[in-house]
Amino acid sequence: MLSALAVVMFVAVTGLSRLYHAQQESLGNRWFSRGVADLKAQRFDRAVAEFRAALVYSRDNYSYQLNLAEALLGRKQTNEAQAYLVTLWDRQPEDGLVNLELARIAAQRGETEQALRYYHNAIYATWPDDEEVQRRDARLELIEFLLRNNAKTQAQAELIALAANLGEDPAQQTHVGDLFVRAQDYEHALAAYRVALKSNRHDAAAQAGAGLAAFELARYPLAYRYLQAAVVSEPGDAQSAARLKTTELVLQMDPFQRQISAAQRSRIVIEAFAAAGERLKACSVEQNSSSLTAPQPSSAESWAKMKPRVTPAGLRRNPDLVEAAMDLVFNIERQTSATCGSPSGTDEALLLIAKLHEGS
């Protein structure tokens, strides 16, 4: 009888224990569900209270702790959130969201090395849903972090890795092209914009981006084509319109282009020489009035000495004068750019032509 009674008591206690744990789990889940709803609605105060209540019934529940950390971050309680996240990372170091949140905290605090480590962990971590999308978004966030910190070389490397696994979606390719531009990798930027334009050749943003990238690469005929298309697609794009105007001037004022006549070359040289003289004069006045260093007198003297010879007849008689005149023009544009600031219009075009033919 005693044995039978012990068995009955054991079964009863086991049943009561199971019932108790089931009730605890039910209460925890109920509070957790409320917390999730409030977290999605950004009611962070209520979410924190509800997740704390859920943890009363299941202190070691991973999901409860992770969502509490998210709610704490929403309330700007970063230190407490980090404490939970570090504990969770110790339990599951491959969790993508935990690594991403720790990366964000480190980035916010300026802890660059820690941020990079957690971002890379997040990129190669395990994600419960849409793993490829989550990894791509984590890499994009890392790239933004690197660009904000002027780490352009590292950003370029991350962008190349991102582009290698990116589809041909035009919006994504245009976005990546924009990021390459910010990282000053214009070659890869142009490639991304071209992929975007394969799907939609009338995409104004991709046309403008391709025009900018080609312009920065000094591929002016290609830049002209893309920029002209961009302005047609989006007439209100003032930046592309201004860049198109400069591109036109570069193409019009380069005397070293192939397939232009001697008369055209002479006309271009005479116009460029006159423009450089005006720039030299204006810069001298500006610098003298501000008591700053004016362009060297030798430039003005050289220009004045050469001026009588820079005529259609003079250039016909002495073909070598074309190169000598343009060397002086380029020197004047470089010098005045250094002393009087960045030029505009014809002077900007001449400075770009000078860079185009450096070392040639």
DSSP letters of 293-306?
A: PPPPHHHHHHHHHH
User: How many folded domains does the chain comprise?
Assistant: 1
Query: How is residue 291 written in tokens?
Result: 């008591």
Query: How is residue 76 written in tokens?
Result: 């700007």
pLDDT digits (tens, 9 = 90+) for 76-112: 999 999 999 999 999 999 999 999 999 999 999 999 9
Share of the chain above pLDDT 90, in %: 75
Q: Report d(CA 239, CA 249) in Å as an integer.
A: 16
pTM of the model: 0.84
More confident residue, 28 or 295: 28
Query: Is 351 among the domain residues?
Result: yes
Averaged over 44-71, what is the pLDDT? 91
Query: Is 2 among the domain residues?
Result: no
At 13, is the pLDDT very low, low, confident or very high (cuts 50, 70, 90)?
low
Does 334 have pLDDT greater than 60?
yes
Averaged over 219-231, what is the pLDDT? 97
Asked if 95 and 85 count as a contact pair (C-beta separation under 8 A), the reply is no
At 29, is the pLDDT very low, low, confident or very high (cuts 50, 70, 90)?
confident
Structural domain boundaries, residue 295: 264-356
Query: Is 277 among the domain residues?
Result: yes
pLDDT at 84: 94
Averaged over 256-276, what is the pLDDT? 94
Asked if 219 and 231 count as a contact pair (C-beta separation under 8 A), the reply is no
Q: Report d(CA 336, CA 199) in Å as an integer.
A: 44
Query: Is 178 among the domain residues?
Result: no
Q: CA nearest 179: which of 196, 162, 200?
A: 162
Query: Is 285 among the domain residues?
Result: yes
